[in-house]
Amino acid sequence: MSETQTFETHVYRPVAWSIAWVLAVIAEGFLLWSLVTQPITALSVGIALLGAAAVLTVSLLRVFALRLQNRIIRSEMHIRLLRIGREADLARLAMPQLVALRFASDAELPSLLDRAISDQMKSDAIKRAVKDWQGDYLRT
């Protein structure tokens, strides 16, 4: 990635997944429309169900990727908090807070961690408070 990541540019939108999902939904819409407007056959029902399965599969692929990414982030942050002797704070943070704190440098992590816990900062506020942004260039 050539561009340096910042708060303003860190949001990742997987274009290929979005296109696949929209196409699957449109196709399922056509299949359902055909099922309603044409004589019902076992084949038309089967194809409509297959289209529904495709929409569900594409949707679940993204959900599973995000859940896995969250597990990786939790492990990454656990290691970082262990290094600074703050592993007990892991249980005091919500997942969105952990995701936001991962963008902080090691130098600013302890003070930002204190603020996040004491002020119950939302993830957006934590990200905005990061001074030395550590980009994530390997997201899926």
Alpha-carbon distance of 127 to 111, in angstroms, equals: 13
Dump pLDDT digits (tens) for 87-96: 999 999 999 9
Verify that 49 and 93 share a domain, yes or no. no
Alpha-carbon distance of 133 to 2, in angstroms, equals: 16
Verify that 67 and 18 share a domain, yes or no. yes
**Structural domain containing residue 89:** 84-134
Sign (positive or negative) of CA dihedral 123, 139, 81, 78: positive
What predicted TM-score, i.e. pTM, was given to this entire model? Answer: 0.80
Domain presence at residue 121: yes
Dump pLDDT digits (tens) for 17-28: 999 999 999 999
Verify that 63 and 108 share a domain, yes or no. no
CB 54 within 8 A of CB 24: yes
How many independent structural domains does the chain possess?
A: 2
Q: How many CB atoms lie within 10 A of CB 135?
A: 14
